Amino acid sequence: MRLVLYTGKGGVGKTTTAAATAVCAAQRGRRTLVASADAAHSLGDVFEKKLGPQPSELAPRLHAVEIDARAEMARHWGRIRSFLVDLLQHQGVEAVVAEELALLPGAEELTTLLAVEAFARTRDYDLLVVDCAPTDAALRLITLPDIAHRALRVLLPLARAVAGVAVPIARALVSMPLPDSAVFRDADRLLYRELRALQKRVTAPTTSARIVVTPERMVIEEARRTYTELSLFEVGCDAVVMNRLLPSTAAVEPFFREWARIEEERLREVAELFAPVPVLRAPLQDDEVTGLERLAAHGRRIFERVEPDALLSRAPRVRFDRHGENYRAVIPLPNAEPGRLDVVKIDDELTITTGPRRRCLKLPRRIVPLDVVSAKIEGPSLVVCFARAAAGGP
């Protein structure tokens, strides 16, 4: 099954683009589900239909859904959250405040993506198109499986070991709420089944992100950073959609001539920044693109020469290889700014930080005893070299 995630700066038209992609794919014979993972749902507005948390059939082979993040969080995190609320109230926190504090950071975004994974597992669809939140929230959404999986992998066994010894004794001595086996069962399910499957899905070769941009400097800069950060987590970007371009006929009008010239410059800039990722063009429309008919026409323009579900570009993966007598890691990091990068090896992991994003890579056993001797940007990649530390003097 093919999974395509649409993101971009707020207001660039990613919801319309995602909907147009889904309509086009369905008309070309693909069983398609388009899902809104944005808390501020506007997918129903684009289709001019009322959507809910269960898929609605809009046309042959086309379904749409607006995921209810709160309901999904209650299903996945219900017992854990109830325990936290009880614990906070026991400490004197008011009930309403306790409810808010028990909303774990990132939990809503994470459970939204878990709902996407559940739809993907049904195999009812050939293509699943996700309308993500604006860029920063979407990046949190996409990188959370890796971060959450790592955190729970460390904390859960520790908490269970402590609880196994302390809880039976503590229950007889104190009145405060204590976690029971159901809390750990939910955490186990998240860690060993759902988060692991989600992590594999997001980084699978059949999954890719598409960034929607408009020919504006701030939008392009944000898209460039997004591309770098997606690459760090091995989420392939297979296309950029340049939206709201002036039609070619407008360039003959004196008022639009300079505007059209600037657009062409921005198009060339985007093509260079994202190469070899293709740039798809979406023209500015004379009215809002809503309803199946206008969405279908918009989709045909975007995907005039390619299939909407095609993998339009293959992203490089992290690789470790031998380099002479030493080893190196090659991490895809296009357009990375060296001044925003931090690389450090701690025990058996290599931690890479770029801006607000951090990824920890598990190192192969043969590299674990080695030290980092250099880390530098080479073309679109970060190359980290490892070697044995030189013997110290007397």
Tens of pLDDT, residue by residue over 99-148, are 655 565 556 667 788 888 889 989 899 999 999 877 665 566 566 656 55
Residue ranges per domain, the chain?
Answer: 1-315, 319-387
Dist. CA 325–CA 54, nearest whole Å? 56
Structure tokens at 124: 């009812």
Cis peptide before 276 (omega within 30 of 0): yes
Q: Residue 376, Cβ neighbours under 10 Å: how many?
A: 12
pLDDT tens-digit series, residues 175-225: 555 555 666 666 666 655 777 787 788 889 999 999 999 999 999 999 999
- How far is the C-alpha of 299 from the C-alpha of 283, rounded, in Å? 11
Fold of 319-387: Immunoglobulin-like (2.60.40)
Strands 326-332 and 381-387: antiparallel
Distance between CA atoms of residues 120 and 98, nearest Å: 34
Burial class (CB in 10 A: 0-12, 13-18, 19+), 286: exposed
> How would you class 79 by CB atoms within 10 Å of its CB: exposed for 0-12, middle for 13-18, buried for 19 or more?
middle
Q: Which of 280, 319, 277 is nearest to 301 (CA)?
A: 280
pLDDT along the chain (394 residues), means of 10: 92 95 98 88 93 95 91 69 65 66 60 86 94 68 58 49 47 50 64 73 91 95 92 92 88 82 94 95 91 96 96 93 90 92 92 87 92 94 88 46
Specify the fold of 1-315: Rossmann fold (3.40.50)
Bridge partners, 358 (sequence order):
353
279, β-bridge pairs: 240
What is the distance between the alpha carbons of residues 126 and 143, in angstroms, rounded to a whole number? Answer: 24
Q: What is the pTM of this model?
A: 0.83
Name the burial class of residue 168, with classes exposed (0-12), middle (13-18) and buried (19+) by CB atoms within 10 angstroms of its CB.
Answer: exposed
